Amino acid sequence: MVSTKKVLLSVMVLVLAAFACAYAGTPHPEEMGSQDCIECHVEATPDVYKQWEESAHGFTGVKCQVCHGDEVNFVKSPDNATCEGCHSKQIDNNMAPQARCASCHISHNFTVHKAHDYK
């Protein structure tokens, strides 16, 4: 028979795990060791690397971990709060605020807003 203590412990673990997932995102699918993201991705996802390299992010040194985090806090698809760190004006003028930035500005060769369209 399962004790109440064990049930409570299991529930607590589940709640904490859910909390951790909600905040820490999904763990990076591979162990990263001491490698930088690009070292692996240049071969693992060459198309993504090429798109990034030719984008404004690539030119200005906004590398993988700026948006996607490190191994422990890896985020596969960054939310708008990440984009807002640099693009708050664009977010303020977003005509579809319920949508994620990346749903229109396809990663990793992002298109750009035109400042004169803003209020």
Partner 1 sequence: MSISRRNFLKASVATAAAASVGVAMPKKAEARGKDVDKWIKGACRFCGTGCGVYIGVKDKKVVAIKGNPDAKTNFGFLCVKGFLAYKCMYHPDRLTEPMIRQKDGTFKAVSWYKALDFVANKFKYLHKRYGKDAVSYYGSGQAMTEESYTFNKLFKGGFGSNMVEGNPRLCMASAVGGYISTFGSDEPVGSYADIEYAKCFFITGSNASECHPILFRRIMRHKMKNPDVKIIVCEPRKTTTSKIADIWLPVDPGTDLAVFHAMAKIILDNNWHNEKFINENTRITDGKKTFSIEEYKEFLKDFTPEKVEEITRCPAENIRQAADWFANSGASMSLWTMGLNQRKRGVWANNLVHNLHLITGNLFKPGADSFSLTGQPNACGGVRETGSLCHLLPGTKPVKNDMWRAHVEKEWGIKPGTIDNKPGFHTMKMFDNLGGEKDAKKPIKAMLTSTTNPAQSLPNLNKYVQGMKDSFLVVLDIFPTRTTQLADVILPAAFIYEKGGVYGCSERRSQLTEKCVEPQGNAKPDVWIAAQIAKRMGLEKLIPWNSDDFMKNNEMAWSEYIRVTKDTDHTLAGATYDRLKEEKAGLQWPCPSVDHPGTYKRYVRGMDPMFEHEGFKAKFGKKMPTDRQFYFYMDKKNEGKANIWLRPYAGPGEVPDKDFPFYLTTGRVIEQWHTGTMTMRIPEIARAHPNGYLEIHPDDAKKYKIMAGDMVEVASRRGKSILPAHITKIALPGILFVPMHDKAMDRMINFVCNDVVDPGSKEPEYKVAAVTIKKISGPKDVAEKYIISNVNDSYS
Residues within the interface to partner 1 (CB under 8 A): 20, 22-25, 32, 34, 36-37, 56, 59-63, 65-66, 69-73, 79-81, 84-89, 91-92
d(CA 76, CA 93): 25
- DSSP states of 10-75 as a string? HHHHHHHHHHHHHHH-PPPSS--TT--HHHHHHHHSHHHHHHHHTSHHHHTT--HHHHH--STT--
8/99 with CB nearer partner 1:
99
The CB-of-59 to partner 1 minimum distance in angstroms stands at: 5
8/79 with CB nearer partner 1:
79
7/12 with CB nearer partner 1:
12
